[in-house]
Amino acid sequence: MGVLTGFLGVGGGFLIVPALVMLVGLPMAQAVGTSLIIITMNSLAGFLGHLHGQQFDTATVVVIAIFALTGIAGAFTGTRLAKRLHPDRLRQLFALFVILLAVGLLYDNVGQMFQ
């Protein structure tokens, strides 16, 4: 998954969640949670890898804090929503999201071919 994620340039959850559900047989909620842990570890490793010798100004720290706090808030909100949605409905919504993302990427890349 890491090679595909790096090669395609898409978020890890985009590939990891379907792989965990279809190949490993995890329930959707467990696959999403597992994916979030994997993405967190990858993000932390990347951040620490770029940290050496870097100095952060106030604006950078503010942006990092905003992303971290909204990510945490989103995780809690998503957990609440997932408890209210039937797993089949959650799977359908995720499939719709993946299709919309694929259409958006296709549109963006086809548009670049003709420039």
What percentage of the chain reaches a pLDDT higher than 90?
13
pLDDT digits (tens, 9 = 90+) for 1-38: 667 766 766 666 777 888 888 899 998 878 888 888 88
pLDDT digits (tens, 9 = 90+) for 69-82: 998 899 889 888 87
Residues 12, 39 contacting (CB under 8 angstroms) = yes
Classify residue 103: in a domain, yes or no: no
Terminus-to-terminus CA distance in the chain, angstroms? 31
Classify residue 84: in a domain, yes or no: no
Structural domain range at position 19: 1-31
Number of domains within the chain: 1
For residue 86, give the DSSP letter: -
- pLDDT at res. 11: 64
Classify residue 48: in a domain, yes or no: no
